[in-house]
Amino acid sequence: MLKKNYHDVAEEDVTLAGSTGATIRWLITEKDGALRYAMRRFEIKPGGHIGLHNHPEEHEIYVMSGKARIFNDKGEEFIAGSGDVLFVPPNEKHGYENLVEETFTFLCVIPILEKK
């Protein structure tokens, strides 16, 4: 069993796709003994965003605080806030834009894919 506080995990800037004002903490990873899933914590500061991008793994997201516009490359978008859950299918382009003067914080669980 493992217990740690998110403050004990290094906070890294999100730099992909021209992102600004966004950070990630890899809370649970293979280094912790996880075999199937990784858990990440994202924070997007007011005025920040994570640009349109995609990954081969699906995303299961739980919004903890704030409010953001979630969008894809098909013109679909919606507003997500505290308590909302999101699913992003594999390879779907997606992005996030903080809309309020509060940090947009969410947990994101992804499968650990085999390295080829």
Record the pTM. 0.95
pLDDT, tens digit (0-9, with 9 covering 90-100), for 16-61: 999 999 999 999 999 999 999 999 999 999 999 999 999 999 999 9
Q: Where are the beta strands (DSSP E) in the chain?
A: 12-13, 20-28, 37-53, 59-65, 67-72, 77-81, 85-88, 94-98, 104-111
47, part of any domain: yes
Q: Are 63 and 106 in contact (CB under 8 A)?
A: yes
16, part of any domain: yes
What is residue 30's three-state secondary structure? helix
Which residue segment(s) compose the domain that 39 sits in? 9-59+79-101+109-116
Residue 17: other Cβ atoms inside 10 A:
13
19, part of any domain: yes
Give the model's pLDDT for residue 116: 63
What is residue 115's three-state secondary structure? coil
